[in-house]
Chain A
Amino acid sequence: MTITTEPIDEAALLSQREISEGMGAVVYFLGMVRGTEGSETITGIEYEAFQRMAEHQFELIFQQMEKRWPIESVRLVHRVGVVKTNEPSLWVEVVAPHRGEAFAACQFLIDEMKRVVPIWKKTLIQP
C-alpha cells in the first residue's frame, strides 16, 4: 500500500503483478478525478491525508478482508496533493481464487476506505 504525491504508474504496477496458480480472479479499480462536481467544472482535486493513520487504517481493512475472503493479495496506491482531471487518484488490485470474492473484497475495501481512512479532498474549481 502506498500513499504518494507521484502519478500512478499503471504499467509499472501491472508489471509487478504476482499471482499463484490457484488464483482465478484479479479485480482492478481505478478512482478517477471527474471534470465536474455538481454544476461546476473543476480542474482537479487536492487530496490531503493524515498519512500515518491512513496507512494504519488501510492495514486494518486489509486484515478484515483477509478474514472474510480467501484473497491472495491486495495492492493499493492513493495519490495525495493535486490530481488533475482525468487522472487516477486511486488504484486497487485484489487477487482471489474466484471473481465473486474478488469483487466483494474490492467493494468492501473502497466502502471502508470512504468510511474510516483519513484522506480528504478539496475540489479545484476552474476560474
Chain B
Amino acid sequence: MTVTVHFYSYFKDLTGCEQVTETVDAGCTLGDLHRNLVARFPKLAAMERAMLIAVGVEYQPHSYVLKEGDEVSLFPPVQGG
C-alpha cells in the first residue's frame, strides 16, 4: 500500500523535497516508516530526537499502524507566536 509523506520547515531542506510517496507493507507502523525515511534521507537521522510526526491532523505515536492513503507529516519542533 502507499502513503504520502510531507516534510515541513527545514526538513524540506534536509530531504530536498516537500513530499514523497512510500510503498509499505500491510501492518507497517509509523516507526517502521520512520526508519525507512531515515535510511532514504540520512540527514534526518540527526533530528530523530527533535522530530514530530502526524497522520492527517493528529499527532501519532511510532506504534500507529499505517493505512492505505494515510497522509504522514514529519516536522521539527513547532515555533508559533
Task: Point out residues on A near B: beta carbons under 8 Å.
Answer: 31, 47-50, 52-54, 56-57, 78, 89-90, 110, 113-122
Determine whether the beta carbon of B57 is less than 8 Å from that of A120. Answer: no
User: Which listed residue (B52, B73, B78) contacts A119, Cβ 8 A?
Assistant: B78
Binding site for A on B (CB under 8 A): 6, 8-10, 52, 54, 56-59, 73, 75-76, 78-81
CB-based A-B contact count at 8 angstroms: 59
Interface contacts beyond A50-B54, A53-B56: sample of 16 additional A-B pairs, CB < 8 Å, sorted by A: A31-B81, A50-B6, A54-B80, A90-B80, A110-B81, A114-B79, A116-B78, A117-B78, A117-B80, A118-B8, A119-B79, A120-B10, A120-B76, A120-B80, A121-B79, A122-B10
By secondary structure, the B interface counts as loop
* A78–B8 CB distance below 8 A: no
Q: Is A90 a contact partner of B81 (Cβ separation < 8 A)?
A: yes
Cβ–Cβ contact B81 & A115, under 8 A: no
Which residues of A have CB within 8 Å of B78?
113-120
**Chain B contacts of A56 at CB under 8 A?**
57-58
In the complex, how many angstroms separate the beta carbon of A58 from the nearest chain B beta carbon? Answer: 9
